Amino acid sequence: MSQTILTLTLNPAVDKSTTIDSLKPDKKLRCEKPVYEAGGGGINVSRGLVRLGISSTAFFTSGGPAGNRLQQLLDEEGVKAMPFPVKSETRENFMVVATNGNDQYRFGMPGSELNADEAEGIIKAIDSCNPEIAVISGSLPPGFEPKQMRTIIKNLKSKGAKVIIDTSGEALQESLSEGVYLAKPNLGELAKLVGVDELHNDDADDAAKELINKGMAEMIVVSMGPQGAYLVTKDKTIHIPAPSVKKRTTVGAGDSMVAGIVAMMAKGEGELAMARMGVACGTAATMSTGTGLFKKEDVERLYRWLAKL
């Protein structure tokens, strides 16, 4: 039986994408019909889990017409939504693909600021939940302090939840200071966490074990793009290479990786299966267009290939 999963997205977005022939300044550009999709780290994890046949509840802030659209988009994808109403409008991001070279132009808007009562209300609402797995993913909106992440994580852990964190900067540092079950930094984020300017692939496992030995996480998955990923625990290091595919986008690849890892966790599978499914989902996401994440058939084919290694 799958475990109960809660994903948390405090700075969600409606992602709007379109295509043009080419991007030129000072010209009126004729765009194709826009596509709207739900966005934000935890939301994307829940969207990915639906594709893998795993149920979850997506907690997110929601405000204004864009917030209503976000809820509608999630309903259409079969994601169980737990919106937290806020006064400010949910942000909208914009992406344009120029078809003459398949170049992507991504415009990320800042989230609207939360007030102090809303920030405290979010913490209380999350504390009312009792998940077995909690995924906190994405950026923080203005008005929500990184140190408040520690309170959320502490409350979830007190109920026995396995907390997975996928964020960056001060929010990631504060989360790891509280201690989580699993963290998914990339090489650049991992370097900052261990206090060095940069890390090479061969250094990633040692850096991850340094954080694990400090009690910051039980498991760390280091995403390395075309080089795949390391899954590191106190006692083992697993490297999974990324299959070679035709890349169309990198949007949602990290969130898709987390969805694959969580899907195997929920099924009670071991670290090797978690790492393989994470890389399969992350790679499959690069084969899609826009912010559509991955196709299940691509994931299954890539997972079978990785299982033969």
205 is catalytic: no
* Residue 198, number of CB atoms within 10 A of its CB: 10
Read off the pTM: 0.94
Catalytic residue among 15, 166, 205, 255: 255
Return d(Cα 147, Cα 278) in angstroms, integer: 29
In a domain, 27, yes or no: no
**What secondary structure does DSSP assign to 3-63, as a single string?**
PPEEEEESS-EEEEEEEES---TTS---PPPPEEEEESHHHHHHHHHHHTT---EEEEEE-
Q: pLDDT tens digits, residue range 232-258? A: 999 999 999 999 898 877 788 999 999
In a domain, 87, yes or no: yes
Lowest pLDDT segment from 1-10, 216-225, 279-288 = 1-10
Return d(Cα 307, Cα 44) in angstroms, integer: 25
Residues 36-62: what's their mean pLDDT? 97
Domain count, the chain: 1
In a domain, 181, yes or no: yes
In a domain, 260, yes or no: yes
Residue range of the domain that includes 145: 5-21+32-307
More confident residue, 252 or 2: 252
Return d(Cα 80, Cα 49) in angstroms, integer: 11
Residue 61 in contact with residue 83, Cβ under 8 Å? Answer: yes
Query: Can you give the pLDDT at residue 290?
Result: 62
In a domain, 51, yes or no: yes
Give me the half-sphere count of Cα atoms (radius 13 Å) on the Cβ side of residue 245.
26
Query: Can you give the pLDDT at residue 169?
Result: 95
Q: In what order do the strands lie in the sheet with 80-85?
A: 80-85, 57-62, 5-9, 133-137, 162-166, 180-183, 217-223, 229-233, 237-240
In a domain, 81, yes or no: yes
CATH code assigned at 13: 3.40.1190.20
In a domain, 10, yes or no: yes
In a domain, 292, yes or no: yes
- Single-letter amino acid code for the residue at 139: S
Return d(Cα 36, Cα 48) in angstroms, integer: 16
Tell me the percentage of the chain whose pLDDT exceeds 70: 98
Coil vs helix vs strand at 30: coil
